[in-house]
Structure 1
Amino acid sequence: MIEEQGRVVAVEPGAVWVETLRKSTCSSCSVKAGCGQGLLEQIGASSRRGYVRALSNLQLRVGDAVMIGVREDLLVRGSLLVYLLPLLGLFSAAVLVEQMGASEPWVILGALLGFLLACCAVRWRSRITAGDPALQPIVLRALLAGAATAF
């Protein structure tokens, strides 16, 4: 289980909205001067807070510190779906169009269409599974007031 600490900002039946503090490793990276993420971090352009809806059967109030969790296998499967499927669509369509004997501009267009089709498939899958409770973050436990970090 991947865990993250946060603070409850809204309560709804069976779930809470949790504000988390995004952490960056840019201060310890050796190439931070040449990295776009490091530059955004320096000028403060990246949002430091994230909001997550987490399922909960605990009696929580706004302002409570909580620990939320996501199963590792869900994170890995989601990453593969979001990153690998569009690349497979791009390369598969490019190879298919090239095998049909098309010229290079048509291969490029086919690759782009394969990429877009795969992206649409990822979005469709995301919409179908968005309401599945087994795929949602959950509140693992409420934290004591002294154990919470400043938000």
Structure 2
Amino acid sequence: MIEETGRVIAVESGAVWVETLRKSTCSSCSAQAGCGQGLMDKLGVDSRRGLVRALSDLQLNVGDSVVIGVREDLLVRGSLLVYLIPLLGLFAAALLADAMSLSESLVILSGLFGLVASWFGVRWRSRRVSDDPALQPVVLRALLVGAAGV
């Protein structure tokens, strides 16, 4: 389970909206001395916050600190779907057009069509399964703030 801490900003029936701070990996990068992103991160210019809807059966209030999680296999499958399928669509359409001995410009256009068509297919699939509870982040636990648990 991949975990991330955040703060509850809204409560719904059976779910909460959690605000997370996206962390940079610049401190562990070997190129940080020559990278503008590392400097911007140190200056705090690009402190991005993310909003995540997470399922929860806990009694939470706005402002509570929580740990949310998503299964590793969902992340891998989602990455493959988003990145690999459009590339495969591009290559498949271009190779098909090339096998049909079309001109180079038509092979390029066919590849772009395959990319766009597979991107729309990924988008359609994503919308179709977006309400599936097995594919959504969940609140794993609430964190205590301070020694008194307040």
Give the superposition deviation at 1:20. Answer: 0.6
User: Residue 143 of structure 1 aligns to which amino acid in structure 2?
Assistant: L
- Counterparts of residues 2-151 of structure 1 (less than 5 Å): 2-32=2-32, 37-38=37-38, 41=41, 46-146=46-146
Rounded Cα–Cα distance in structure 1 between residues aligned with 2:144 and 2:3: 16
**In structure 1, distance between residues paired with 2:77 and 2:46:** 26
In 2: Cα distance, 1:40 partner to 1:112 partner:
35
How many Å apart are 1:137 and its aligned residue?
0.3
Equivalent AA in structure 2 for residue 101 of structure 1: S
* Counterpart amino acid of residue 22 in structure 1: R
Structure-1-length-normalised TM-score: 0.89
How many Å separate the matches in 1 of 2:81 and 2:46? Answer: 25
The count of residues paired between Structure 1 and Structure 2 equals: 147
Q: Give the deviation of 1:34 after TM superposition.
A: 5.5
| CA deviation after TM superposition for structure 1 residue 48, in Å | 1.9
Misfit runs of 4+, over 4 Å = 33-40, 42-45
Which stretch has the larger CA shift, 36-45 or 83-92?
36-45
Shift of 1:41: 3.7
Change (3 A) 1:44 1:113: farther
Offset at 1:97?
0.2
Letter aligned with residue 98 of structure 1: D
Cα displacement (A) at 1:111:
0.4
* Identity value in percent: 71
Give the Cα–Cα distance (whole angstroms) in 2 for the partners of residues 44 and 109 of structure 1.
Answer: 43
What amino acid sits opposite 2:2 in the alignment? I
Write out per-residue CA displacement over residues 16-37 of structure 1, whole angstroms, 9 at most, x where no aligned residue.
0001111101132122356575
Seen in structure 2, the aligned counterparts of structure 1 residues 41 and 108 have a Cα distance that, compared at 3 Å, is: farther
- TM-superposed CA distance for 1:103, in Å, is 1.1
> CA RMSD for the aligned pairs?
1.9
